[in-house]
Structure 1
């Protein structure tokens, strides 16, 4: 069985947090982790509608490593695939559909990491990720609203079938690499 953890890195707008909670409930996901979030105020409640329980049960963390602890696979979302400049590190990325194919048949905790509304994930945050995902959008305007991006990814993963291949813990694998 696959268990998904949705991690929002430094969300700026509480309304987006509420919209993400609603989308999570729409598609049957429940574990939300907020990393250094904005104040969760009335717009979060209004936008979450009947999914405010997801926000109430969200885990608040102050370091990415703490937010990701226990993850078998870490998936980072990016709006800029395949480009490298001085500011952003990008590698070839999977689409949400390709991600579903890659994860099918596995068993473990998968952290889906979504970046800041204004700047996405930083290079050092992307480097922690095992897999990078990009949602194919128009080249004219590729940036998506946080909750819309979460909706696309969760829609694709909502009917994924896990299996009996248990994934190793991400941080245990990192320790193994350090000793090689």
Structure 2
């Protein structure tokens, strides 16, 4: 695998950097609202195809390029210790857990959140916004409204819009939900 800069698509490399420094993840697939389907992400493909190059590039500028195999996404971090204390990560995880708790309480399968024809719709968003416990959590996270919380998740590629007030979780969003479900299951088994 070559690491020569001339072999790397400069425009994609710049888009990758911009995506990462804006606190976003790059997932293997993105939701295309016009095709109404998940499609392969050209940024993910570029990263994966030139992994050695991008790993070294981000090391040179003080970051770690991280690849999450299960969730099929890339992200950057300064160090594992800093990442644990990151307020953005806390906000993302808390909001995803609110969505998951609401979904499970309704008796739905969590995997449906990653299915575009089902996903997280207007009714669910309105019901979440009305519940006092979720409102308290959202406010404690510093989110003014539930719409802003959803936009926060969408801006970071943890969910994608797939219609008017209709969203589908990305592989990164589902990965975090599944990690928490697994952790909860292990704790309950003890």
Q: TM-score, normalised by structure 2?
A: 0.26
Larger radius of gyration: 2
Higher strand share: 1
Q: TM-score, normalised by structure 1?
A: 0.27
